[in-house]
Amino acid sequence: MSPLLDEVITVDGTVSADAFTAKLRMTKAEFANAVGLAPQAVSKTKRLHTVATQARLRDVAEIINRVMPWSGSLGQAFAWYRGQPLPSFGDLTPEDLVKQGRADAVKRYLSRIAEGGYA
């Protein structure tokens, strides 16, 4: 794994909302909004451990993790996630796409760019 993933994914394989929000220096409510979840999904233990919530958090962690080497820092990677319009997707941001349930499309886009493809 990578440093970010090592720090937000627990020994049992779940994504820790506490660790993620601490790394990003934001509230759970702000974080939930940024990843397209209800605030209760990241603050209530039972909701945090659902398959859907964990899948969304893992997708966001993987996307940010892949962008960090290009952007230079976690903060810059998260800023890219939240605000960079992607021409291939009609200028939707990665955040917009993740909220629409299209995280896999963002990950494929990043793979294409990493291989030297066009944005």
Do the domain assignments include residue 65?
yes
Residue at 119 is within a domain: no
The domain tally of the chain equals 1
Q: Could you tell me if residue 85 is left (phi over 0), alpha (psi between -120 and 50 degrees) or otherwise beta? A: beta
Neighbours of 17 (CB within 10 A): 24
Quick one: angle between helices 17-24 and 51-71, nearest 10? 30
Distance of CA 7 to the CA centre of its chain: 14
pTM for this predicted structure = 0.90
Position 86 scores a pLDDT of: 95
**Residue 38 Ramachandran class (φ > 0 left, ψ -120 to 50 alpha, else beta):** beta
pLDDT of residue 94: 98
Which structural domain range is residue 105 located in?
Answer: 3-114
pLDDT (tens digit, 0 to 9) for every residue of the chain, 119 residues total? 467 778 898 889 899 999 999 999 999 999 999 999 999 999 999 999 999 999 999 999 999 999 999 999 999 999 999 999 999 999 999 999 999 999 999 999 999 988 886 65
